[in-house]
Amino acid sequence: MFTIIGNEKVDSGEKIPVRNPATGEVIDYVPSLPREEVKNAIDIALDTSPRLNAIAPAKRSRLLTEVAKAIRGNVDDLAVTMTRETGRPIKSSRLEIERTAQIFELAASELRRALEGQFIPLDLYELPAGNENRVAFVKREPLGVVAAITPFNFPAASFAHKVAPALAVGNTVVFKPSSLTPLTQLKLAQLVLKEFPPGSLNVVTGNSEMIGDEFVSNEKVSLITFTGSASVGLDLASRAVKNGKRVIMELGGSDAMVVLEDADIDKAVRSALVGRFDFAGQFCNATKRVIVRREVEEEFTEKLKSGLQKFRAGDPMDEGVDIPPLISSDAVARMKEFLNDALAAGGEEVYEGKVPDKGYYFPPVVLRLSPESKARVLREEVFGPILPVVPVSSDEEAVRVANSTQYGLDASVFTKDFSRAYEIASKLKAGTVVINDTTRLRWDNLPFGGVLKSGIGRESVINTMLEMTETKLVVYSR
C-alpha cells in the first residue's frame, strides 16, 4: 500500500512486508522511506499550517464530523484490514472502528471548549494602582507540526487520539504507524485527507529509529505524541525535551487487580478473564497481575480455570474466537522466556490452554506465585496471555505487591466495602483505579495515562487538545 506525503502517493523504493499473525503470511508491503522523505514530510506539514488555519474552527469541526461519517461508512473494510494485520478478533476490531469514529466526533465538539479562551479585566482584582485600565485575553494557539508515533495493538483508536485533536486545534501532523500494522492507519489517513487539505496529515513509514531520530531532532516539530513501550518512549521523550519540544507519552503497564475476601468473586473472575485474555492480553491496560486474599484464592482460581476452559483460540476472522495470535514470532519467544523465568523462580503453572500450531499463538496460562517471588512477570510488562495470581494475607501486603513495579497505568480493587476500596485506591500507584470492574476501562474523554514509567501527561480528547495548544496571554492597556 502507498503512503501519503503532501499531494503525493508514495509507493517506491524499498518495501517493508506486513504479515498476518494468524498465518505468518505477507499480506502487503509499505514503503521504507529514506530520511530525506521524512524531512520533506515535516517541511510540507509546516508549509500547510497556514492553509489549515485559514479554515475556521467551526468548519474544521464540520470536517471532523465528515471524517467520522466516512469511517462509519467503511467499518467492514477497516475492521477486516485491522484484524488481518493485528490478529485482533474481528468482533473487537469492529468495536474499535466505531470508537474511532466517536473520537473524531468528540474532537469536533470539544474543539469549541479547547479554543474558547478567556477575557480578564484586571480591575477584578485588588492589584497595585495602575492596573485599572488593563485587560488580559488568554487565547489558545496551535503549536505547528505535531509528530505522532503509535503502537501495533490499537491502530485505529490510537490514530484518532492523535490526529483528530491535532487537526481540530489547527496543528498539521506527521504520523508514523507501527511497522507491524500500518495498513488500517493508511486507509484512515485517506479518509481524513478527503476532507482536510493535502499536507495537513502526512504518513511516514520506514525505519523506526531513523524516523524517531528525525522527529526528536528536527526543529520544525513542536510536539511528539507517542504511544508504545516505556523503553522507546522515555528515550524519545528525554531527547525531545532536550531539544525544547513538548511530549505526550502513553506507555506500558503492569496493571494489578486486587481481590479482597468480601468481593463478588464471579464478577472479579469475569473481569480478570476479559482483562487478561482479550486480544491475548495485548493491551496496555490489560490485567497483568491478580493479587488475591488467601481466604478466597482457591475459589477465585478454580472459577478462573473453568471460565478459561470456555475461551476458544483460533482464527481471529472467526466471530467465535476469543484468543487470537500474538503480533509476531518475537512476541511468542518473549512469552516463553517470561514463563520459563517464572517457573524457575518457584512459580506453579495451574492452567495452560490449547492453541493452533500454525501462526504466532501462545496458550493462555495461569501461574501461582508467592508475594516474595522475584519472577519477572510480577515486575515487567507482560504483553501476552500469562496471568500470575499472587495470594496475600492482608490489604497492606496487597498494596505492597501491587506497587512493586516501575509501572503505574491502571489498577482495580474488588470489595463490597467502599471505604476499604477507597483506602487501597489512594495507596495504589496508578493513573486510574477502577473499583469492582476490569482495569481495561477507558472512555475517550476521561483523562487516561500513567504515573512512573507508564507515561507523561494524560490523553483524552480535551486534554490532548490543551496539550497541543500554546497558551498566549495578550494584555491590553487603555
User: What residue ranges bind ligand NAD (CB under 6 A)?
Assistant: 149-154, 176, 178-179, 208-209, 212, 227-229, 232, 236, 250-253, 284, 381, 383, 409, 455
What crossing angle do the helices spanning 183-195 and 75-86 adopt, rounded to 10°?
A: 150
Cβ atoms of 288 and 381 within 8 Å: the answer is yes
Cβ nearer to ligand NAD, comparing 53 with 229: 229
Choose, from 37, 105, 214, 250, the residue flagged as catalytic. 250
- Min CB(107)–ligand NAD separation in Å: 17
Q: For residue 330, count other CB atoms closer than 10 A to its CB.
A: 10
Active site residue 284: yes
DSSP state at residue 393? S
Helices of type H across 199-296:
208-217, 230-242, 265-277
**Alpha carbons 336 and 326: distance in angstroms, whole number:** 12
Q: What would the grid cell of residue 35 be?
A: 530520511
Main-chain phi, psi angles of 306, to 5 degrees: -70, -30
Residues 250 and 226: beta-carbon distance below 8 Å? yes
Nearer to ligand NAD, 395 or 459 (CB): 459
CA distance 373 to 457: 32
Minimum distance, C-beta of residue 49 to ligand NAD, in the bound complex (Å): 24
CA angle 212, 153, 404 (to 5 degrees): 85
In terms of CB distance, is 152 or 300 closer to ligand NAD?
152
Identify which of residues 139 and 376 has a Cβ nearer to ligand NAD in the complex: 376
DSSP one-letter string for 403-437: T-SSEESEEEEE-S-HHHHHHHHHHS--SEEEESS
Q: Which is nearer to ligand NAD, 32 or 208 (CB)?
A: 208
Q: CB 281 → ligand NAD: shortest distance, Å?
A: 10
Residue 132 annotated as catalytic: no
Nearest residue to 429 via CA among 448, 409, 447, 412: 409
In the complex with ligand NAD, which residue's Cβ is closer, 115 or 180? 180
Rank residues 53 and 406 by Cβ distance to ligand NAD and give the closer one.
406
Least distance CB 476 / ligand NAD (angstroms): 41
C-alpha cell at 319: 466471530
3-class SS of residue 350: strand
Residue 469 Ramachandran class (φ > 0 left, ψ -120 to 50 alpha, else beta): beta
C-beta separation of 366 from 308 below 8 A: yes
3-state secondary structure of 74: coil
Identify the active-site residue in 214, 284, 297, 381: 284
Between 240 and 339, name the residue whose CB sits nearer to ligand NAD.
240
Distance, CA of 403 to CA of 436 (rounded, Å): 19
DSSP at 24: -
Q: Do residues 406 and 383 lie in contact, with contact meaning Cβ atoms separated by under 8 Å?
A: no
Residues with catalytic roles: 250, 284
